[in-house]
Chain A
Amino acid sequence: MVAASPKIAPAGSDISIRAVSHRFDLEGAPLPVLDDVSLQIEPGSFVALLGPSGCGKSTLLRLVAGLDHPSAGEITVDGDPVADPDPSRILVFQDPTLFPWRNVRANVALGLEAQGILKSEGGRVDDAIRLVGLDGFDRAYPHQLSGGMAQRVALARALVNRPDVLLLDEPLGKLDSLTRLAMQTELVRLWQQSGLTAVLVTHDVEEALFLAQRVIVLGPRPARIVADLQVDLPYPRHRGDPRLAELRHEALRHLGLEASW
C-alpha cells in the first residue's frame, strides 16, 4: 500500500569508511576504540556490524551519523564527507528515547517540524505511523506504550524523514524475546519497502544473520574487522535454515566462541 508510493522509496546511499581510527580521551589517557577500519557499503544493502559488547561498533555508527568525528580516516556518504548530523542519515538508538511530552503523532512529526516542512509534508506522518502498524495510537503518550510499540514509534520517527541511510544501534536490544523476533521480521519488511541502506549494530549473532545480507564481525576493543560474511539467502528467511546454522558457527568461530558450538 505505502510501498506503491514512489516517493517513499529513496535510493539508498553508499557508505565508504576509509582507514577510520577513533579514540576517547579518558582523564588524559587515550582509549582506542576503533583501529583502522575500512568498509564499503553498497547502496540499498542491509549490513550488520557484529561484535562483543563495548567493542566500539556503536561508536562507528555514531561516526557515520555525524554525531562524532573520527580521530583519523574519513567517512563519506555518496562521496560527500560526513561533517554533521543530517536527516538523510538517521540513527535509531537502543532506547526508543521518545519525547515523553509529545504524543505518538508529535514524536513522529519531530523531524519534519525541525526541518520546517511539517505543514507541506504533514501527510507523511500518517504514512509513517501506518507503515509501522500503529494506526489508532497517534494520540497516545510514550508512557502508555509497550517497549515494542515505543520502538516502532522510534522507527516511524526515523522513516518519516525518508532517510537514505538508517543506522540501527541495537534497536531490539531491550525487547523481550518474542517481541524481538516479530520486530526482526518487521525490520526486514521496512527495509525492503523503503529501499534505504541499513546498518545494524548488534551483539546477537542470530539477529545479524537473519536480517543482514552481509555481516561484518568486529574483534574486541579496539575494534578491527575480523571477518566479512556474505549471507547469500533470499528473504523471507527461515530461522531453521541449515545454511544459517553454518554461518552462525562461522561467526562464533571468528568471535572466539568456537568451544561453545
Chain B
Amino acid sequence: MTTIDIEAEIRAEPSQAVVQRVTLLASLGWIGAVAILLFWPDLTFQPLVRELALFWSAVAAALVLLGLGGNRLGRLGRWSASRGPWLLAIGLGAALWTVLTAKTGILPQPFFPTPQAMLEVFLYDWPKILYSASFSVWLLARGFFFGAIAGFLIGIGMGWSRAVSYWATPLLRYVGPLPATAWLPLAFFIFPTSGSASVFLIAFSTAFPVAVLTWSGIASVNRDYYEIARTLGASPLFLITRVAIPAALPHVFVGLFMGLSTSFAVLVVAEMLGVEAGLGWYLQWAQGWAAYANMYAALFVMAAMCSGLITLLFRIRDRVLVWQKGVVRW
C-alpha cells in the first residue's frame, strides 16, 4: 500500500500546473493553417471554407486550453503532453495540404482533393459512409467468428488426433495457401446470396492461419504438463481443455491476428466484386463517379476500422493472456 502511495505522489508532484509548451506550439501551427486557409486566395472555388476554418480554429483553441491547463486536466492533459509533437505535425500537415492543393495546385485536382472537399464529403455523406462501415464490420464479424471457431477446432483435432492429422494435413497444405479471393467467382454462384458467399470466404481465409497456428501451438506444449496432469488424475478431456488449449492460446492468438489481417483483404475484394454494400462497395461506387474525395474518405474510415479491430483483438489478448505479462512481449 505505502509503496503505491509514494509512487503516485512521485508521479503527480513535478507535473503540477506545468504549461505544455509543445501543445501551445501545436495550436500556433493550427492557427497558421487557418490563416493560410482564409487569407491566401484559392485557385478555384472551394466549398465550406469558413466551416473548415471554424473547425480548425476550434482545434487550435482546444490545444491552447490543454497547453495552459497542463497536467491538471488529468488523462486528457497527459495525452496531449505525450502527443504534442504529433498534434503539431498534423497541424503543419493540414497547412501544407491546403497549400499544395487549394492554393497552388501543385497536386492536381481532382485526384488530390482539397481539405475543404474532404470536409464536404464527411459533412454531407456521413450517413452513407457510416452505414457502409457498419455493414462491413458486421460482415467481417460473422465471417471471422465462424472462421476462427472452425480453424480452432480443426487445429485442436489435428494437434490431438493422429487420424484427423492424417486426413487434414494434406488438405490444409494443398488448399490452405490458395488465396480465398480465388474462390470468389465460384462462391458467388454456389451460395444463394453474395452476402453468405462473402461470409464463407472471410471464414475460409481466417480458418487457415488459425488452424495452422492452433495445431502448432498444441504440438509444442511441454510434454511434462501432460505427465503432471496425468499423475494428478486428469482425464483425456481435462488434458485437452485444461492443459493443451490454455498452453496453446498464445499461438492461437498469433493465428487470429494473421486471420484478421487476411480477412480485411477478402472483405474489400468481396464487397467490390459482388456485395452491394460496405466500404469496399462505397469505394468502387465513388470511383464510378470519379468522386475522389469520397474515395479518400472511404480509405480513411476503412483504416480506422481495420486498426480499431486489430486494437480490439490486442485488448482481448492482453486480458486472456494476462499470465504472460513479463514473459512474452510483442
Is B326 interfacial (CB-CB < 8 Å)? yes
From the candidates A91, A93, A100, A114, name the one contacting B233 in the complex (CB within 8 A).
Answer: A114
Is the beta-carbon distance between B327 and A100 smaller than 8 angstroms?
yes
The distance in angstroms between the C-alpha atoms of A61 and B243, with both chains bound, is 23
Is B242 interfacial (CB-CB < 8 Å)? yes
Is the beta-carbon distance between A87 and B323 smaller than 8 angstroms?
no
Decide: A101 near B249, CB < 8 A? Known: A93-B224, A95-B224, A141-B323.
yes
Is the beta-carbon distance between B323 and A97 smaller than 8 angstroms?
no
The distance in angstroms between the C-alpha atoms of A141 and B231, with both chains bound, is 22
Is A90 interfacial (CB-CB < 8 Å)? yes
Residues in B whose Cβ lies below 8 Å from that of A110: 228-229, 232
Residues in A whose Cβ lies below 8 Å from that of B228: 91, 93, 97, 110
Residues in A whose Cβ lies below 8 Å from that of B2: none
The distance in angstroms between the C-alpha atoms of A67 and B234, with both chains bound, is 13
Residues in B whose Cβ lies below 8 Å from that of A85: 227, 230-231, 233
Decide: A143 near B327, CB < 8 A? Known: A97-B225, A99-B246.
yes
Complex interface bits, B232-257 against A, C-beta within 8 A gives 1, otherwise 0: 11110010001100110100000000
Is the beta-carbon distance between B224 and A114 smaller than 8 angstroms?
no
The distance in angstroms between the C-alpha atoms of A89 and B232, with both chains bound, is 9
Expressed in whole angstroms, the minimum distance between the Cβ of B1 and any Cβ of chain A is 14
Is A115 interfacial (CB-CB < 8 Å)? yes
The distance in angstroms between the C-alpha atoms of A186 and B229, with both chains bound, is 24
Complex interface bits, B209-232 against A, C-beta within 8 A gives 1, otherwise 0: 000000000000010110111111
Residues in A whose Cβ lies below 8 Å from that of B225: 97, 99
Is the beta-carbon distance between A101 and B327 smaller than 8 angstroms?
no
Residues in B whose Cβ lies below 8 Å from that of A142: 323
From the candidates A66, A87, A100, A103, name the one contacting B232 in the complex (CB within 8 A).
Answer: A87
Decide: A87 near B231, CB < 8 A? Known: A141-B323, A143-B326.
yes
Is B15 interfacial (CB-CB < 8 Å)? no
Interface range, A side: 20 to 34
Expressed in whole angstroms, the minimum distance between the Cβ of A175 and any Cβ of chain B is 18
User: Mostly helix, strand, loop or mixed at chain B's interface?
Assistant: helix
The distance in angstroms between the C-alpha atoms of A113 and B326, with both chains bound, is 27
Is B46 interfacial (CB-CB < 8 Å)? no
From the candidates A93, A99, A111, A115, name the one contacting B243 in the complex (CB within 8 A).
Answer: A99
The distance in angstroms between the C-alpha atoms of A89 and B231, with both chains bound, is 7
Q: Which residue of B lies closest to A110 (CB)?
A: B232
Expressed in whole angstroms, the minimum distance between the Cβ of B253 and any Cβ of chain A is 13
Expressed in whole angstroms, the minimum distance between the Cβ of B217 and any Cβ of chain A is 12
Is B324 interfacial (CB-CB < 8 Å)? yes
Expressed in whole angstroms, the minimum distance between the Cβ of A93 and any Cβ of chain B is 6
Q: Which B residues between 273 and 330 are near A, CB-CB below 8 angstroms?
A: 321, 323-327
Q: Which residue of B lies closest to A93 (CB)?
A: B224
The distance in angstroms between the C-alpha atoms of A202 and B224, with both chains bound, is 19
Decide: A67 near B327, CB < 8 A? Known: A101-B249, A114-B234.
no
Is the beta-carbon distance between A90 and B327 smaller than 8 angstroms?
no
From the candidates B231, B238, B324, B325, name the one contacting A67 in the complex (CB within 8 A).
Answer: B231
Expressed in whole angstroms, the minimum distance between the Cβ of A14 and any Cβ of chain B is 19
Residues in B whose Cβ lies below 8 Å from that of A95: 224
Is A86 interfacial (CB-CB < 8 Å)? yes
Residues in A whose Cβ lies below 8 Å from that of B227: 67, 85, 91
Residues in A whose Cβ lies below 8 Å from that of B224: 93, 95, 97
Q: Which A residues between 70 and 88 are near B, CB-CB below 8 angstroms?
A: 85-87
Is A152 interfacial (CB-CB < 8 Å)? no
Residues in B whose Cβ lies below 8 Å from that of A143: 323, 325-327
The distance in angstroms between the C-alpha atoms of A51 and B243, with both chains bound, is 33
Is the beta-carbon distance between B230 and A67 smaller than 8 angstroms?
yes
From the candidates B232, B242, B327, name the one contacting A157 in the complex (CB within 8 A).
Answer: B232
Decide: A86 near B233, CB < 8 A? Known: A97-B222, A97-B225.
yes
Expressed in whole angstroms, the minimum distance between the Cβ of B319 and any Cβ of chain A is 13
The distance in angstroms between the C-alpha atoms of A6 and B324, with both chains bound, is 39
Is A102 interfacial (CB-CB < 8 Å)? yes
From the candidates A91, A100, A101, A144, name the one contacting B231 in the complex (CB within 8 A).
Answer: A91
The distance in angstroms between the C-alpha atoms of A102 and B229, with both chains bound, is 13
The distance in angstroms between the C-alpha atoms of A66 and B230, with both chains bound, is 10
Q: Which residue of B lies closest to A65 (CB)?
A: B231
Expressed in whole angstroms, the minimum distance between the Cβ of A130 and any Cβ of chain B is 20
Residues in B whose Cβ lies below 8 Å from that of A93: 224, 228
Residues in A whose Cβ lies below 8 Å from that of B233: 85-87, 111, 114-115, 161
A-B contact pairs, 18 of them (CB 8 A): A66-B231, A87-B232, A87-B233, A91-B227, A91-B231, A100-B323, A100-B324, A100-B327, A101-B247, A102-B323, A111-B233, A113-B238, A114-B232, A114-B238, A141-B325, A142-B323, A143-B327, A144-B326
User: Given A99-B243, A114-B242, 19 more contacts at CB 8 Å?
Assistant: A85-B230, A86-B231, A87-B231, A90-B231, A90-B232, A91-B227, A91-B231, A97-B224, A100-B327, A101-B249, A102-B246, A110-B229, A111-B233, A114-B238, A115-B233, A141-B325, A143-B326, A157-B232, A161-B232
Closest 9 CB pairs of A and B: A111-B232, A114-B234, A87-B233, A85-B231, A115-B233, A101-B323, A85-B230, A101-B246, A97-B224
